[in-house]
Amino acid sequence: MNQNASITETVLAPLKELQLLSQNLFLSLGPPNTNPPPAPSATDVLACDASIAASLEKARVHQIKQKKIERLKQEILSLDTRLVEIWKELEAGKRELAQIVEEGDQRIAAMNKAASGQFRIKILIIWSELR
């Protein structure tokens, strides 16, 4: 069998061979005056049977692998969904951290202004009571 053949082709090829063998068998059972073809040999029938068994085993292995592929595909989709959620959480944390840093920068700037005497005392007292 061809290694590059699809699983359908792999299974159908021996079935077509079996169909031809069975047609020849039934034609060979026809009346002798019609000159029927010779009946297929038992070796041909057994070879066809072995070929069918091998292709069905290959199809079974293919189904097992396909189920595993589908299971892994679902796992990848689940992990991808979780990854998107994590990215969203990280982005929200990044925004929150940027806001905290901005507030910290504003406080430092206010303290530097206060230290240089540019704030009036009353504003400093109000500001310190709020904190």
Contact 48, 21 (CB under 8 A): yes
The percent of residues in the chain predicted with pLDDT above 70, rounded, is: 90
Task: Put residue 35 in one of left, alpha, beta given phi > 0 → left and psi -120 to 50 → alpha.
Answer: left
Q: Which residues of 55-83 are buried (b: 16+ CB within 10 A; e: fewer)?
A: beeeeeeeeeeeeeeeeeeeeeeeeeeee
Percent of the chain with pLDDT over 90: 40
Q: How many CA atoms lie less than 13 Å away from 65 in the CB half-sphere?
A: 7
Question: Maximum Cα–Cα distance for the chain, whole Å?
Answer: 128
Q: Are 107 and 115 in contact (CB under 8 A)?
A: no
Over the stretch 43-52, which tens digit does the pLDDT of each residue have?
988 998 898 8
Average confidence (pLDDT) over 3-21: 82
Contact partners, residue 13, CB within 8 Å, separation at least 6? 1, 5, 51, 55
Higher pLDDT: 36 or 22? It is 22
> How far apart are alpha carbons 123 and 53 in whole angstroms?
93
pLDDT attached to residue 92: 97
Q: Which 3 state secondary structure label does DSSP give 3?
A: coil
Going by pLDDT thresholds of 50, 70 and 90, the confidence category of residue 42 is confident
What confidence tens digit (pLDDT) does each residue in 43-89 have?
988 998 898 899 889 999 999 999 999 999 999 999 999 999 999 99
Q: pLDDT at position 57, please?
A: 92
Q: Please indicate, yes or no, whether the overall pTM of this predicted structure exceeds 0.85.
A: no
Residue 101 confidence class, pLDDT cut points 50, 70, 90: very high
Residue with tokens 């066809």: 48
Domain ranges of the chain: 7-130
- Considering only CA atoms, which of 127, 9, 130 is closest in space to residue 62? 9
